[in-house]
A and B are shown apart, each in its own frame.
Chain A
Amino acid sequence: MSIVQTIVPDKLGHFGMFGGRYVPEILIPALDELTETYNKYKHDKDFAQELDYYLSEYVGRPTPLYFAERMTEQLGGAKIYLKREDLCHTGAHKLNNVMGQILLAKRMGKSRVIAETGAGQHGVATATACALFGIACQIFMGVEDMRRQELNVFRMRLLGAEVIPVSAGTQTLKDATSEAIRDWVTNVADTHYIIGSVVGPHPYPMMVRDFQSVIGREAREQIMEKECRLPDYAMACIGGGSNAMGLFGTFVKDESVKLIGVEAAGEGTDTDRHCATLTTGSPGVLHGSMSMLLQDDDGQVQLTHSISAGLDYPGVGPEHSYFQDIGRASYVSITDCEALEAFQYLSCTEGIIPALESAHAIAYAMKFAPTLGKNKLLVICLSGRGDKDVHTASECLEVMS
């Protein structure tokens, strides 16, 4: 099956009023080159074969669609399936996109790759692929994130990447992304920038979505096999929104499948310490595209907070803003405490330690599934494993106990 979905965006990368290219002129030719290369290879048989090879032999796809039987029984409502992206090589869905982009970078003759990272999962995935292909790799990471994700910093260095600390601004994902863009502006001739989510200027939101769409395509096939029908709900956590877009894409045209994105409410959306962009933000431009944004009345980007570094971002992918706008998906939020509870719940109920990011989706399912009938089917994207988070979690749980 083709990896391409064609409804949106338009030629300039607009999803309704969202998306587009809000970047300095200097980057436009590189984005044009990338768009052209992507458009050329997305229909190319050799490219698809090479990508499929690495996805199955290296990433470990397909990942299982696991029936969470104990969780289903205990919650007493909808039948819950977990799409096990945590079983991908490097421990999260991030490598799906990175493999696609690194194969493009090779074809564009780029000798150096850069990436931003928050939780470190995308950084580790990028460092991994660069090690595999022998490409020089530099990862930009906020100093605050380096502190809370120390293990991933070590992993990236072990994989041969250089981790560049970013001490500007809030020292988190937002600033790491800005710094990566500044580097790209300077070194665009020989460097490819692998953005890790469905954010950024066109073609990134479209391209990353397409590379992640393998999640949904597999899930669709697997649920048809197991249940002979489509799910009633597809659910995923949302920072930038790439695992959610990967799961949602295949179901967009199936109106019977309701799509639910779960954002991070941090210490609560009634406080100023959260990153629930879609549920509380307003339209604005960050990192090259128009989307919903957490900003003040003066258009300054707001400080955010989440226990999960991967969701701690004031923006969101433009296609999610579009889905919200046209009512195709709904977006809810989960607090730090609820996510921590789900983190423990899934660990001791199913023997699966979820990433704190993914725990947000689990937490919403714990509230939502019991309200549904037993004949309903709920597919949750378990986007990553929680090993990286045990340190953060144990610190928080100690404080709470």
Chain B
Amino acid sequence: MNRIDKCFAKLKERSDKALLCFLTSGDPDFATTADIVEEIISAGADIIELGVPYSDPLADGPSIQAASQRALQAGATVRGVLDNVKKIRERLQAESADAPIVLMTYFNPLQKYGMQRFAEDAVRGGVDGVIIVDLPPEEAGEWKSICDDTGLAGIMLLAPTSTKDRIKVAANMGSGFIYCVSRMGVTGARSDVPVELQELIENIKSATDLPVVVGFGISKPEHVEFVTRFADGAVVGSALVNIIAEHAGSQELVCRAGQFVKELRTGMARRE
């Protein structure tokens, strides 16, 4: 069983849900990314999402746009992101070693690197899945077969605007889990979570056995608690990226990130 399936199976066994944490790889630099990843897994992150920095991130709000810019200015490349995952994998010990790492990327850096080569290098480095923000099912045919061949999870996105037919298509095409966008808009911390979300998640779950996680705008322990009542996991991104931005260059950075993730986890535990 691959690490993603194993992770959700284990969580299910103890009737728990997944906490997914996003950070932009290489922000502020690759070594710090590795330190943060190690720390937040110990603090309770179940799945790590690493953003591949891109010059024109049109689905991202100001926080992740700025993180991308910082990473690119620090010299991050696609090759560097993949190499860094390999280094992170080598460092993760004991239970942490099973934590799935997925990459979140825009299509252009990936296609420029070469889809086949990207998938092979990703798998070799210990990447478990890839989410491509701007590759809807219509354009994802070639990528899906590469994922199937290499054993990489091709994680599909769904949104509040997705019709029943599109939910079916994504469910059939995707593997690993389904990433559901919580609201209309771009990434970024928000003060509330839309109430219609539950119905959307239920619609998706009736079309697939894949776990369904929710992202975009999830920034507080109470959001995570609310969302994981009906979804299989919650993704926190911009809020963590903001903490990294705020403490970049400080010795507190890694510890602060860990503390934040612990708080998010506590929110989930409170439910039981």
Q: Does B24 interact with chain A (Cβ within 8 Å)? A: no
Q: Which of A28, A30, A182, A282 has the most CB of B within 10 A?
A: A182
Known: A169-B56, A288-B134. A299 touches B109 (CB 8 A): yes
Give every chain B residue within 8 A of A285 (Cβ-Cβ): 106-108, 111, 134
Bound Cα distance from A361 to B134, whole angstroms? 34
Known: A182-B186, A299-B113, A301-B108. A21 touches B136 (CB 8 A): yes
Q: Is the CB of A22 within 8 A of B112?
A: no
Q: Is the CB of B161 within 8 A of A299?
A: no
Q: Is the CB of B166 within 8 A of A25?
A: yes
Give every chain A residue within 8 A of B186 (Cβ-Cβ): 182, 185-186
Q: Does B172 interact with chain A (Cβ within 8 Å)? A: no
Q: Does B139 interact with chain A (Cβ within 8 Å)? A: yes
Interface residues in A290-334 by Cβ distance below 8 A to B read 293, 295, 297-301
Q: Is the CB of A284 within 8 A of B108?
A: yes
Q: Does A151 interact with chain B (Cβ within 8 Å)? A: no
Report the interface size class on chain B: 35 or more
Q: Is the CB of B109 within 8 A of A286?
A: no
The residue that A29 contacts in the complex, of B79, B162, B170, with Cβ under 8 A, is B162
Interface residues in A332-390 by Cβ distance below 8 A to B read none
Closest-CB distance, B131 to chain A (whole angstroms): 11
Q: Is the CB of B55 within 8 A of A287?
A: no
Q: Is the CB of A21 within 8 A of B58?
A: no
Q: Is the CB of A23 within 8 A of B162?
A: no
A178's nearest neighbour on chain B, judged by CB, is: B58
Bound Cα distance from A12 to B135, whole angstroms? 13
Q: Is the CB of A28 within 8 A of B136?
A: yes
Q: Is the CB of B139 within 8 A of A22?
A: yes
Q: Is the CB of A299 within 8 A of B166?
A: no
Bound Cα distance from A300 to B110, whole angstroms? 10
Bound Cα distance from A26 to B184, whole angstroms? 7
The residue that B134 contacts in the complex, of A22, A186, A298, with Cβ under 8 A, is A22
Q: Is the CB of B112 within 8 A of A297?
A: yes
Q: Is the CB of A12 within 8 A of B134?
A: no
Known: A185-B184, A288-B134, A299-B108. A24 touches B54 (CB 8 A): no
Q: Is the CB of A300 within 8 A of B157?
A: no
Bound Cα distance from A25 to B159, whole angstroms? 6
Interface residues in B168-206 by Cβ distance below 8 A to A read 170, 181, 184-186
Q: Is the CB of A21 within 8 A of B159?
A: no
Known: A20-B138, A23-B136, A300-B55. A286 touches B158 (CB 8 A): no
Q: Is the CB of A25 within 8 A of B136?
A: yes
Known: A285-B108, A299-B111, A299-B112. A186 touches B136 (CB 8 A): no
Interface residues in A9-37 by Cβ distance below 8 A to B read 12, 20-30
Give every chain B residue within 8 A of A39 (Cβ-Cβ): none
Closest-CB distance, A272 to chain B (whole angstroms): 15
Give every chain B residue within 8 A of A178 (Cβ-Cβ): 56-58
Q: Does B59 interact with chain A (Cβ within 8 Å)? A: yes
Q: Does A187 interact with chain B (Cβ within 8 Å)? A: yes
Q: Does B63 interact with chain A (Cβ within 8 Å)? A: no
A293's nearest neighbour on chain B, judged by CB, is: B108
Q: Is the CB of B139 within 8 A of A21?
A: yes
Q: Is the CB of A182 within 8 A of B78?
A: no
Closest-CB distance, B188 to chain A (whole angstroms): 10
Interface residues of A (CB under 8 A from B): 12, 20-30, 168-169, 174-175, 178, 181-182, 185-189, 282-288, 293, 295, 297-301
18 CB-based A-B contacts, threshold 8 Å: A21-B138, A22-B107, A23-B134, A24-B134, A24-B136, A26-B59, A26-B184, A182-B61, A182-B185, A182-B186, A185-B59, A188-B161, A283-B111, A285-B107, A285-B108, A286-B108, A298-B78, A300-B109
Question: Contacts A25-B170, A26-B160 given; 9 further ones with Cβ under 8 A?
Answer: A24-B157, A28-B161, A178-B58, A182-B58, A182-B61, A285-B111, A286-B108, A299-B78, A301-B108
